[in-house]
């Protein structure tokens, strides 16, 4: 084997030993812990990202952030070639690599005489296995570095690298970010030839956008990101119907809570570029507030209260809140009375607004066309069981196709990609719109045809709007900055105030609880986590209880990170929802002990 490569990993990894007793676990989108114990994890993720880059022959991203967590926490996420999250097939590798307890363990199982196998998985399920001794010696270390006790499954392209690993690094504004980014850089560069590019302080969605753009051969600097968003926004503004530029009885101003994170400062840059929106940013990272402390989308959505710096003085003004790394967005309005609750407009309502607008454009697109020759793009809505039942009923009433997945953005994103246009959002404000490449190509052809034969028609405008939306919305991942711009331009297009928007439907009262259990894996669910398969009898008991309540709905699911079972209940009144949740929590306790 190449001794220089082996020495490089051994030498660099010796600087990032795992703290005693620490074991990390890959969550929905990466690793997240107290920043003081993360250096070794982030270093190993750097190695993993380099391996992923070699495997895919693509640019990969590593983002240092803990999103909506407290400022003392930090974390690390990997952006795959399409800008999305790390492939789920690689998550076990991430866990095992991150928890390798020593430098030597990173290199264990390195019996290059042939005991470790590299399994090639070809298309049509054909298989070919070769001993690792057949792998060129300067590449064997990359397999050994994973320290995985079973065969590593890589496609045959792993053995045909034509370019070195290339990783884009980004971080948010956390004080621990700079040191952790350096740990990631050293992990990346411990693989011979790998290149790590520091893209600076970014929102998480910006880094995901950059990775996607680079792999599509598009210019991918932060300035390119701002220009694409601002140009697409201006295009949509120019296409607003005459007489719809003013909101229906609503102040034109938008006040945004930046969670004392990176998003506020980036939004201010966008605001200067656009110069057509009246936006005031509070709780920016340039202020002296504490990140995610009494501020941010997660706080506003869960607590249903206004963030710090907002009060009755803001009554009548549209307000929005980003989270710490600007991948979540919720809107709200503050009542005139200081003690009254806010009117929350969460991710379900943002999804509904986007769905209404997209549906309208699709109806214009094929208006007055020969019905036999119409291509009907498939619009799909994707939610989890946590979506409020009223939102699901509203969307179905519009005639839209609604699909459900297990909890987690990675599942929502994957399902949304099945449609010509897929829209997904969680209630917490994380979501986006995906446009298939095939649909974009068809739309461009349709737009060109309409511009030559039906210039100025509603169909042509609809085609142009949809193309602009596909460039404005971040198709790699949920993005609060692009989300704000799309919400604002759609509200102007519809002529709606935030109050009219919020009246699309009324949320059913709900309650969430969690029950501590000895072993959360005792609960097994199906049907997008809405039905309990094990233990036997629990689902029947839940059903018996749920039917006692008007508009009752209840499900339980095991936590992904701790030994608790989460309970969600809805009913026609808050009292009924609370009672149902408590009764089902007792059932969980009875069945699991």
Q: What is the pLDDT of residues 74-88, one digit of tens each?
A: 999 999 999 999 999
Q: Could you tell me the strand order of the sheet in which 379-383 lies?
A: 401-404, 379-383, 421-425, 431-435
Q: Quick one: pLDDT at residue 372? A: 53
Q: Is residue 326 part of a domain?
A: yes
Of the candidates 169, 112, 122, the one whose C-alpha atom is nearest the C-alpha of residue 142 is: 112
Beta strands 329-333; 318-322: pairing state: antiparallel
List % helix, strand, coil for the chain (3-state, nearest 5). 40, 20, 40
Same domain, 186 and 38: yes
Q: Are residues 194 and 160 in the same domain?
A: yes
Shared domain check, 362 and 322: no
| CA distance to 63, 203, 349, 472, 485, per residue, from 259 (Å) | 18, 12, 21, 23, 18
- 358 in Cβ contact with 423 (< 8 Å): yes
Whether 32 has a binding-site annotation, put simply, is no
535 preceded by cis ω (within 30°)? yes
**454 shares a domain with 359:** yes
pTM, 2 dp:
0.90
The answer on 90 and 175 residing in a single domain is yes
The sign of the dihedral angle between the CA atoms of 91, 93, 97, 101 is positive
Same domain, 444 and 586: no
pLDDT digits (tens, 9 = 90+) for 535-585: 999 999 999 999 999 999 999 999 877 889 999 999 999 999 999 999 999
Active-site residue set: 67
Asked if residue 255 is part of any domain, the answer here is yes
Q: Report the greatest alpha carbon distance in the chain.
A: 76
Tokens 């020593």, located at residue: 102
Q: Which of 344, 362, 387 is the last residue of a domain?
A: 344
Range of the domain at 332: 238-344
Q: Two tokens at 158?
A: 């792993």
Specify whether 516 is located in the same domain as 484: no
358 CB-near residues (< 8 Å, 6+ apart): 379, 421, 423, 433, 466, 469
Burial (CB < 10 A; 0-12, 13-18, 19+), residue 223, is exposed
Q: Give phi and psi for 452, each to the nearest 5.
A: -90, -30
> CATH number of the domain that 481 lies in?
3.40.120
Which sign does the torsion angle of CA 520, 523, 524, 526 carry?
negative
If DSSP codes are grouped into helix, strand and coil, which group holds residue 127? strand
The answer to whether residue 259 sits within a structural domain is: yes
Same domain? 20 vs 109: yes
215 found inside a domain: no
CB–CB of 265/286 below 8 Å? yes
For residue 519, say whether it is annotated as part of any ligand binding site: no
In this structure, are 128 and 31 located in the same domain?
A: yes
- The pLDDT score that the predictor gives to residue 368 is 60
Instruction: Return the structure tokens found at 226.
Output: 């701002």
- CA–chain centroid gap for 566, Å, is 21
Q: What total number of domains does the chain contain? A: 4
> How many angstroms separate the CA atoms of 191 and 51, rounded?
8
Q: How confident is the model at residue 322, as a pLDDT?
A: 98
Does the annotation list 56 as a binding residue? no
Residue 50 lies in a domain: yes
Per DSSP, the residues of 349-415 read: HHHHHHHHHHHHHHHHHTTTS-GGG-----EEEEE-TTS-HHHHHHHHHTT-EEEE--SSHHHHHHH
Does residue 249 lie in a domain region? yes
Which residues of the chain are modeled with pLDDT < 50? 1, 109-159, 247, 249, 371
Backbone dihedral angles phi then psi of residue 120, each to the nearest 5 degrees:
-95, 130
On whether 367 is known to bind a ligand per the annotation, the reply is: no
CA neighbours within 13 Å on the CB side: how many for 248? Answer: 12
244 DSSP 8-state letter: -
Q: Examine residue 17 and state whether it is found in any structural domain, yes or no.
A: yes
**How far is 108 from 439, CA to CA, in rounded Å?**
48
Residue ranges of E strands in 385-429: 401-404, 421-425
The answer to the question of whether 482 is labelled as a binding residue is: no
558 is in an annotated binding site: yes
Taken in order 476, 480, 483, 485, the sign of the CA dihedral is negative
161 and 13, same domain (yes or no): yes
**427 annotated to a ligand binding site:** yes
* 51 contact partners, CB below 8 Å, separation of at least 6: 142, 145, 146, 165, 191
Out of 293, 316, 344, pick the residue that ends a domain: 344
Do 161 and 101 share a structural domain? yes
Domain-embedded: residue 208? no
Say which CATH number the domain at 317 has.
3.40.120.10
**Tokens 């390798």, residue located:** 100
State yes or no: 325 annotated in a binding site: yes
Put residue 249 in one of left, alpha, beta given phi > 0 → left and psi -120 to 50 → alpha.
left
CA distance 553 to 555: 7
Closest CA to 148 of 103, 203, 107: 107
pLDDT at residue 373 in the model? 54
Query: Is 196 known as a binding-site position?
Result: no
The dihedral formed by the CA atoms of 331, 267, 172 and 333, expressed in degrees to the nearest 10? -20
Is the same domain home to 157 and 295?
no
Domain final residue, candidates 201, 226, 258: 201
């Amino acid at each position: 084997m190449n001794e220089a490569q082996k020495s490089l990993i051994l030498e660099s990894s010796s600087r990032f030993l795992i703290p005693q007793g620490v074991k990390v676990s890959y969550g929905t989108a990466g690793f997240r812990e107290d920043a003081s114990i993360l250096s070794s994890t982030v270093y190993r993720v750097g190695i993993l990202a380099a391996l992923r880059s070699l495997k895919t022959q693509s640019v990969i991203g590593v983002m240092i952030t803990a999103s909506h967590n407290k400022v003392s926490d930090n974390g690390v996420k990997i952006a795959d070639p399409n800008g999305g999250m790390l492939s789920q097939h690689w998550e076990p590798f991430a866990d095992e690599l991150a928890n390798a307890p020593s430098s030597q363990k990173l290199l264990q199982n390195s019996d290059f005489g042939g005991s470790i196998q590299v399994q090639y998985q070809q298309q049509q399920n054909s298989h070919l296995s070769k001993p690792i001794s057949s792998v060129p010696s300067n590449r064997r270390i990359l397999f050994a570095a994973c320290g995985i006790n079973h065969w590593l499954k890589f496609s045959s392209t792993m053995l045909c690298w034509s370019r070195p690993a290339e990783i884009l690094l980004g971080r948010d504004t956390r004080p621990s970010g700079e040191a952790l980014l350096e740990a990631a850089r050293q992990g990346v560069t411990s693989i011979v030839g790998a290149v790590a590019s520091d893209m600076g302080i970014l929102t998480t969605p910006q880094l995901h956008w950059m990775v996607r753009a680079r792999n599509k051969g598009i210019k991918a600097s932060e300035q390119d990101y701002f220009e694409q968003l601002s140009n697409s926004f201006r295009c949509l503004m120019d296409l607003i119907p005459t007489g719809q530029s003013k909101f229906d009885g609503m102040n034109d101003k938008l006040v945004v809570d930046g969670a004392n994170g990176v998003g506020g400062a980036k939004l201010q840059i966008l605001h200067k570029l656009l110069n057509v929106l009246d936006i005031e940013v509070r709780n920016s990272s340039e202020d002296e507030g504490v990140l995610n402390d009494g501020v941010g989308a997660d706080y506003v959505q869960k607590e249903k209260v206004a963030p710090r710096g907002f009060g009755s003085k803001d009554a009548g003004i549209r307000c929005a809140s980003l989270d710490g790394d600007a991948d979540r967005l919720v809107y709200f309005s503050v009542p005139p009375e200081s003690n009254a609750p806010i009117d929350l407009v969460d991710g379900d309502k943002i999804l509904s607004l986007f769905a209404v607008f997209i549906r309208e454009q699709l109806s214009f697109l094929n208006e007055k066309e020969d019905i036999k020759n119409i291509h009907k793009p498939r619009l799909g809505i994707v939610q989890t069981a946590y979506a409020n039942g009223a939102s699901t009923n509203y969307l179905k009433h519009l005639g839209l196709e609604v699909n459900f997945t297990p909890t987690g953005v990675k599942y929502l994103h994957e399902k949304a990609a099945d449609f010509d246009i897929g829209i997904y959002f969680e209630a917490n404000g994380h979501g986006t719109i995906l446009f298939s490449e095939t649909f974009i190509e068809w739309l461009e052809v349709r737009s060109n045809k309409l511009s030559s034969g039906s210039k100025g028609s509603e169909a042509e405008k609809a085609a142009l709007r949809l193309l602009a939306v596909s460039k404005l919305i971040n198709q790699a991942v949920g993005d609060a900055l692009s989300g704000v711009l799309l919400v604002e331009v759609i509200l102007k297009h519809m002529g709606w105030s935030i109050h009219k928007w919020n009246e699309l439907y009324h949320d059913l009262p709900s309650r969430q609880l969690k029950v501590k259990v000895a072993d959360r894996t005792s609960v097994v669910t199906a049907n997008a986590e809405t039905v309990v398969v094990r233990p036997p009898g629990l689902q029947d008991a839940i059903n018996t209880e749920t039917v006692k309540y008007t508009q009752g709905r209840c499900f339980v699911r095991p936590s992904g990170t701790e030994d608790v079972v989460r309970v969600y209940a809805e009913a026609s009144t808050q009292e009924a929802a609370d009672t149902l949740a408590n009764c089902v929590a007792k059932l969980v306790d009875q069945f699991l002990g």
